[in-house]
Chains A and B, each alone.
Chain A
């Protein structure tokens, strides 16, 4: 079945550091890929998405490129801020099995210090 693997957290960085959160996936079809962010005490918000190979999703300075050859969708940001502290979830949606329910990774906590 489909699965998403994210790097273990927490990831702890200083403000203005470069961020990478790794995400790899296994899917039977041609999935769409997503990053969601969850700030403390809130629900998940869509951060960015990519629907086909080589697409780059971007939002709020975050980027991720759909790499079919390495089945990866790593999240990057050039300069993190304290306000980026949150939990980040990688997810895929693959309708080839007849289900439109996304598969989520376990989430990676990011802590940014001033």
Chain B
């Protein structure tokens, strides 16, 4: 079955702009979570959506937001981009209903802010 699909794979934005990243989860998965990965901070959890509701949130400013649609597809948005937002943004999906279930990652969206 198809894996987690993220678009776009690569993008370059200017400081102050906003960006929207998209994620299509594995069919049947209701949980979608987002992570930011940078060399200095490692893998940091942004937020998780389950059945269109934000269920968990990491420690990021309000410029970072997301949503999930009825088909479980998710988008995340970053407004007023800063240079420090340059990172690999990873989406992951899972059944989201028990601790033994595995989360599956997409290949990520590489964001460069200039």
Contacts and interface: CB of A to CB of B under 8 A. Distances in A.
- Does B associate with A? yes
A64 B108 CA distance: 27
B56 A101 contact: yes
A101 B33 contact: yes
Contacts of B75: none
A93 interface: yes
A99 B56 contact: yes
Nearest to A42: B107
A43 B108 contact: yes
Interface in B83-114: 90, 92, 94, 96-108
Contacts, number: 55
B112 to A, nearest CB: 14
B12 interface: no
B107 A95 contact: no
Contacts of A106: 42-43
A67 to B, nearest CB: 17
Contacts of B97: 100
Contact of B90 (A44, A100, A102): A44
Contacts of B92: 44
Contacts of A89: 43
B49 to A, nearest CB: 11
B102 to A, nearest CB: 5
Interface residues of B, number: 26
Interface range, A side: 20 to 34
B100 A93 contact: yes
Interface string A37-59: 00000111110010100000000
A94 interface: yes
A25 interface: no
B45 interface: yes
7 contacts: A29-B99, A43-B105, A46-B102, A93-B101, A95-B99, A99-B55, A101-B56
Interface of B: 4, 6, 31, 33, 42-43, 45, 48, 55-56, 90, 92, 94, 96-108
Interface of A: 29, 31-32, 34, 36, 42-46, 49, 51, 89, 93-96, 99-102, 104, 106-107
